[in-house]
Amino acid sequence: MPASEFYQPAPRLDNQYEADSLLRGYLAWRLPAPMLRDVDSELARFGERVVTDIAALGRAAEAQPPRLVPYDPWGRRIDDIVVSDAWRELDRISAVEGLVAIAYERANGDLSRLHQMAKLYLFHPSSSTYSCPLAMGDGAARFLEVYGADDRTRAAFEHLTTRDPAEFWTSGQWMTERTGGSDVSATSTTARPQEPTDAVSGVDCYQLFGTKWFTSATTSQMAIALARIDGAPAGGRGLSAFLIELRDENGALRGIRVNRLKDKLGTRALPTAELTLDGAPGTLVGGAGDGVRKIASMFNVTRVYNAVAAVAGMRRALALARDYATKRIAFGKPLIEQPLHRETLADLDAVARGCFLLAFHAVELLGKEECGTATERDLGVLRLLTPVVKLYTAKHAVRVASEALEAFGGAGYIEDTGIPQLLRDAQVLPIWEGTTNVLSLDVLRAIERTDAWTAWRTDIESRLDAIDESSLAGAVEQIRARIEALARSMQAARDGSTLETNARRIAFAIAHISASARLAEYALWSTTHPAGAHDSAAAADSLTRWLASSS
């Protein structure tokens, strides 16, 4: 063929469930047979949707970002955030598919979280980050489930967890202000008590005044906001959490002005706004004070979402790069036949696998916590792993996305290939929901203020004890040695008063060891169970590659 007639075939995605040998293997490992049968057929169907109609909606939403219409034609201030039809359709699909509801229906007890997150994992990379309003809606549902005690909060919970698209709500999570992003205790929004009206009698009503600097998914029907009740002390303990229903029955914002929409590097379909609260009515949830501790029940859910979104983005980037490598010919043969390219993809695949198993370990523990089946040790491990999995998977998501772009050469840098979006959308993951350093300090908080370290160490050592396969003995010894080395270096840091400066190294080491153990357990299962045979070679290879790296 003459060179002038050559056109590079574009990468193509297959059914993202059927093509994901690890996801299928993992579910076969973790789920009882009857549940696996149901989930398997549901995900096979959904895995097709995420590369067909849902992917098309995601692209359409990305092409038509939200815009702010501050005034109506006659000069009335309306602050209407106009989103695309595609964005609204993604909301409808999310409700009908039960993307939040599955976790609260609990049809499969504490494994319902795993079912739900497996579905979200398929949905996220196709959804133009519709996963963000879902994450915050889910976090708010958990917060209300734990702390809500009146009709209004119960009604909001029902909206957040329904499958009925006409009733379905998502939520904002309004914590960030000009005075405090990571340092939430510097929140300056105030709450002024109001007499309860007849319609809401028994509910503690307040009016909120202040500025919220970043509010994601501002088209949501409600938000959970932090504010300081007049007269409450300064600092985090003086903050309280409020449920705000954004609009009245005519759709008008209630005591809220949208100052502007943020112009962001990525997540372009997602409306993110800067707001002034000027008497926005809020319902106090969970009593006055200690708002940061209470709202942790919300952001510990959204942090797990973040980790699932990170591993989902990695998997999608690799699926595209791998397909492209079969189609792109250089130096006389497809990229996939070039040893160095193949090796690079295999290394990235090992990173994605370790991160996947790490993230889904937290998902399983979250399910147990929510259903009351977690042991004290599980709770300790979850407390430690939540910041660890968030920070670690987010960092690696950026790295994998960057490498995946590079695997496309120049095409990876060209917007209309759709490939740059992978990197732009990954870059938010280490930032929102707590930056890497802030979460590393949260890891220290968990280690120094709770029993999380002992729980984590006992748990991982007992799981390593159960790996009784001679071919894995070397890997197990290596993991044990790393635990010992970490314990020693932490003690040295404690003795030298350098724990804080070492917080990131400690968090990364915990993540690496946790993922190593999970990879070893999965390798054991996949070599000893027929249902894992399809993935056993990849499981063994990724464990070897993972252990050859140190962070």
Cβ(295)–Cβ(309) under 8 Å?
A: no
> Which residue lies nearer to ligand MFK by CB, 360 or 432?
432
> Helix (H, G, I), strand (E, B), or coil: what is residue 298?
helix
**Count of residues of this chain found to bind ligand MFK when the rule CB under 6 A is applied:** 28
Return the biggest CA–CA distance within the chain. Answer: 80
* String marking each residue 205-244 x if it binds ligand MFK according to CB under 6 A: -----------x-------------------x--------
Choose between 183 and 248: whose C-beta lies nearer to ligand MFK. 183
Under rule CB under 6 A, which residues in 35-54 are in contact with ligand MFK?
A: none
- Under the binding rule (CB under 6 A), the answer on residue 135 touching ligand MFK is yes
User: Which listed residue (12, 293, 488, 494) binds ligand MFK by CB under 6 A?
Assistant: 293
Q: Which neighbouring-strand residues pair with 243?
A: 224, 283
Near ligand MFK in 449-468, by CB under 6 A: 449
359 vs 460, beta carbon nearer ligand MFK: 359
Q: Which is nearer to ligand MFK, 123 or 525 (CB)?
A: 123
- Tokens for 200, please give them: 């809401």
- What is the DSSP secondary-structure string of 320-372? HHHHHHHH-EETTEEGGGSHHHHHHHHHHHHHHHHHHHHHHHHHHHHHHHHHT
For residues 147 and 285, the answer to whether their CB atoms sit within 8 Å is: yes
267 part of the interface to ligand MFK, by CB under 6 A: no
CA distance linking residue 338 with residue 321, whole number of Å: 14
Give Cα 420 distance to the centre of its chain.
Answer: 20
Position 178 contacts ligand MFK (CB under 6 A) = no
Helices (H) and strands (E) in the chain, counts: 17, 11
Counting contacts by CB under 6 A, is residue 170 touching ligand MFK?
no
Two tokens at 385?
């792993």
Give the start-end residues of each E strand in 74-189: 77-82, 171-174
Distance CA 128, CA 501 (A): 36
Would you count residue 182 as binding ligand MFK (CB under 6 A)? yes
Selected from 136, 317, 318, 351, the binder of ligand MFK by CB under 6 A is 136
Give whichever of 226 and 540 is closer to ligand MFK, judged by the CB atom.
226
Binding span for ligand MFK by CB under 6 A among 27-35, 176-184, 254-262, 536-544 = 176-184
DSSP secondary-structure letter at 529? S
Interface with ligand MFK includes 175 (CB under 6 A)?
Answer: yes
Q: Give CA–CA dist 330/398, Å, rounded.
A: 26
Q: How far is the CB of 442 from ligand MFK (least distance, A)?
A: 5
Residues 90-129 as x/- pattern, contact with ligand MFK by CB under 6 A: ----------------------------------------
- Of 425 and 521, which has the nearer Cβ to ligand MFK? 425
For residue 132, the minimal CB distance to ligand MFK (Å) is 4
Q: Closest Cα partner for 521 from 8, 29, 11?
A: 29
**Which residues in the 321-360 window bind ligand MFK by CB under 6 A?**
none
Least distance CB 406 / ligand MFK (angstroms): 24
**Do 144 and 100 contact (CB within 8 A), yes or no?**
no
Are 194 and 156 spatial neighbours (Cβ–Cβ below 8 Å)? no
Residue 302 in the binding site for ligand MFK (CB under 6 A): yes
Instruction: Tell me how far CA of residue 526 lies from CA of 31, 342, 540, in angstroms.
Output: 14, 23, 9
Of 432, 442, 430, 456, which is closest to residue 362 (Cα–Cα)?
456
Q: How far apart are CA 287 and CA 163, in angstroms?
A: 30
Distance between CA atoms of residues 325 and 344, nearest Å: 11
| Closest-CA residue to 124 (of 112, 138, 110) | 138
| Least separation in angstroms between CB 358 and ligand MFK | 16
The correct pick among 130, 324, 432, 546 for binding ligand MFK (CB under 6 A) is: 432
Minimum Å gap between C-beta 97 and ligand MFK is 16
141 scored as a contact of ligand MFK (CB under 6 A)? no
In angstroms, give the least distance from the CB of 84 to ligand MFK.
Answer: 19
Cα separation of 14 and 47, whole Å? 8
Task: State which residue, 269 or 325, has the beta carbon closest to ligand MFK.
Answer: 269
Any contact of residue 131 with ligand MFK (CB under 6 A)? yes
Nearest residue to 137 (alpha-carbon basis) of 152, 114, 159 = 159
In terms of CB distance, is 442 or 521 closer to ligand MFK? 442
Residues in a beta bridge with 223 = 172, 244
Q: Which residue's beta carbon is nearest to the bound ligand MFK?
A: 236
The residue from 442, 459, 521, 535 that contacts ligand MFK (CB under 6 A) is 442
Q: How far is the CB of 279 from ligand MFK (least distance, A)?
A: 23
| Residue of 288, 438, 467, 531 interacting with ligand MFK (CB under 6 A) | 438
| C-beta closer to ligand MFK: residue 236 or 281 | 236
Stretch touching ligand MFK by CB under 6 A, among 37-45, 177-185, 471-479, 523-531: 177-185
* Comparison of 455 and 543: residue with beta carbon closer to ligand MFK: 455
Do residues 394 and 335 make contact, with C-beta atoms less than 8 angstroms apart? no
- Please enumerate in sequence order all residues whose Cβ is within 8 A of that of 467, keeping only pairs 6 or more positions apart, or say none: 476, 520, 521, 524
Angle at 165 between CA 160 and CA 171, to 5 degrees: 30
**Contacting range for ligand MFK; rule: CB under 6 A; set: 49-57, 194-202, 431-439, 538-546:** 431-439
List of residues contacting ligand MFK (CB under 6 A): 131-132, 135-136, 173, 175-176, 182, 184-185, 216, 236, 292-293, 296, 299-300, 302, 305-306, 309, 432-434, 438, 442, 445, 449
